[in-house]
Amino acid sequence: MGAEEGQISPSYSGLLPFQKESYAPPVSVPQQGVPERTSVIEDGGVPLLVVPVKGGKGLMRIGPVARVKRKKAKILDIIGEKLQPLFDILLETDKLKSQVEIVVASSKATHNISSLVMDDKSIINTIIALAIRTIGAGGGFFLEWEGDTFKILAFEGLEEEARNVFKEDHEGHLMLADMLGDKEYTIVRKADDEYYNIPSCFAAAGIDTLILVNVCTDETSGMAGFWFNDTLQGEEMQEYRITALLMLSKRMGDIIYNGSKLKELSESYMDMLKMLAQMMDNLSPYTVGYSEQMYRYATVIARELQLDESEIKDAGLAAYLSNIGILGLSSDLLLKEGKYSELEYEMMKLHSDVGASIIEATTARSTVASYIRHHHERMDGFGYPSGLKGSEIPVGARIILVVQTFLAKVNGRKDREPLQFDRALEMLRAASSSQLDSDAVEALITWFKRKRKNNMRSGRSLGNCWEMRCSPANVCAKCPAFNNNNVNCWEFGGSFCSEHGNRCETCFIYTEYLNRSKTLSDNK
């Protein structure tokens, strides 16, 4: 301690080490907090010299600096002015770099999906890869029968050496075919005697379970196989995997059959794209029937707006294929759950442009392509990809956005429960004029009002659940409510709501009924 004129003040004795506090500069600084000229500020108790760059696009922070002489501050102001052109170049370069990355990703995506539609092998490779991700398999393959041997169209998983061994193992291919025979599918486990007849590359890799699935069409036949490093314990998980594989094998058969017709008939391109859209829908219970729902509700709105028949057909087709461009992007993005990073979001925004490019490349349907390209434009001009607003947006694109918004609210997702039916309609109205086309919104609401006033539906849902949710027969076939027109679906025990990602309590078919019944009761 030291004393001066009766005052006691602390002094450093040097007996203990001096601990300096570390300073962590902020990641970003609000623009309104940037001074116009060189000055000293304090941030977190640390005095900093701030030199602004002319134009407000940047600044330099130097510290710790407690004060700066006026002459030096003027020199630093001049440096800040001279740095402006350099900052402009750096910012523009960074912006161009981001744009280049997006353009490259878009170009690759367009190429990928175009080759996917044209090339059977590319199609099968994509389906096998998506199937592996969906069912949690360790890998998979597809063999197409060609003469008296099999041809490998797809193989995912295992090392390259094992892949080459399997490619040349024609005897192993035939052994697998004998195991499968005419059965729809077969499961070979490590404990089974047949396990010792599987190709050596699988046994060497320590695979526990192998599922083989028949894939047959009128013109060709083949076999898909998927292996697992577990024994498929648990009846629910096993049934889920088998159902998913049978669904995908059916799609593979359809796609292979239609692929042979693509060069002859232009309309087959559309059939192929629809099948791919259905395949994407079937990857998750929360999107089963989504494309068909898009088509039906878009057609409803187009008819309510009294569009020409050709516009109605184009709007329906564009709605069905509105998300087809996603298939041209990374499969990681396609199957990702949760929020996207900034770059992932920018890549996902490409799906509308990529989808339109696919239509333009495979058909002459320019109107359909236009509807797909602009279906994320907003009425206030804050949409993408072109920032169109109001009547600048093609009518079909405006319709698609209304339907997508409606379905997003009533269908829900894994991490989000669906909204009640009437609440979803209220939110559509709230988004009218700013985000959504008010005429298209009112057309959908008016159509629902008319259906809800039908006395024939008193005490009943607006329609059969499998029709309103557009669930395919192979999903609904085992449900006790399927094809039963006399009882509401939620009144059955053991219904299969989970197969399309819902529970009866939150399904929009049920909540619509509750809202309608309450309104009728209140009006009596």
Residue keyed to tokens 């005490």: 459
Which tens digits make up the pLDDT trace of 79-127? 888 888 777 777 766 665 665 466 556 655 655 565 555 566 777 888 8
Instruction: Write down the mean pLDDT value for the chain.
Output: 81
Residues 446-457 have a mean pLDDT of: 86
H or E, element range at 153: strand 149-156
Q: pTM (2 decimals)?
A: 0.60
pLDDT, residue 29, reads 73
pLDDT, residue 3, reads 44
What span, in angstroms and rounded, lies between the C-alpha atoms of 103 and 469?
Answer: 36
Closest of 123, 111, 365 to residue 262, by C-alpha? 123
Residue keyed to tokens 């096993």: 238
Closest of 291, 283, 228, 294 to residue 251, by C-alpha? 283
Residues 235-248 have a mean pLDDT of: 75
Which tens digits make up the pLDDT trace of 6-53? 555 555 555 555 555 566 777 677 777 678 888 888 877 788 888 888
Lowest mean pLDDT of 4-13, 96-105, 358-367, 408-417, name the range.
4-13
Query: Where does residue 244 fall: left (phi above 0), alpha (psi -120 to 50 degrees), or beta otherwise?
Result: alpha
- Contact present, 17 and 53 (Cβ < 8 Å): no
Domains and CATH numbers, the chain: 119-259 (3.30.450.40), 268-452 (1.10.3210.10)
Lowest mean pLDDT of 34-38, 63-67, 125-129, 476-480, name the range.
476-480
Residue 493: alpha-carbon gap to chain centroid: 33
pLDDT, residue 96, reads 53
Residues 223-234 have a mean pLDDT of: 77
pLDDT, residue 151, reads 86
Share of the chain above pLDDT 90, in %: 27
On the question of pLDDT at 267 being above 80, the answer is no
What span, in angstroms and rounded, lies between the C-alpha atoms of 29 and 157?
Answer: 47
Which residues are within 8 A (CB) of 350 and not within 5 positions of it... i.e. 6 or more apart? 102, 105, 106, 109, 325, 329, 385
Cα angle, residue 349 at apex, residues 98 and 364 outer, rounded to 5°: 115
395: three-class secondary structure by DSSP: helix
On the question of pLDDT at 204 being above 90, the answer is no
- Contact present, 514 and 504 (Cβ < 8 Å): no
Lowest mean pLDDT of 123-127, 203-207, 209-213, name the range.
123-127
Residues 245-260 have a mean pLDDT of: 75
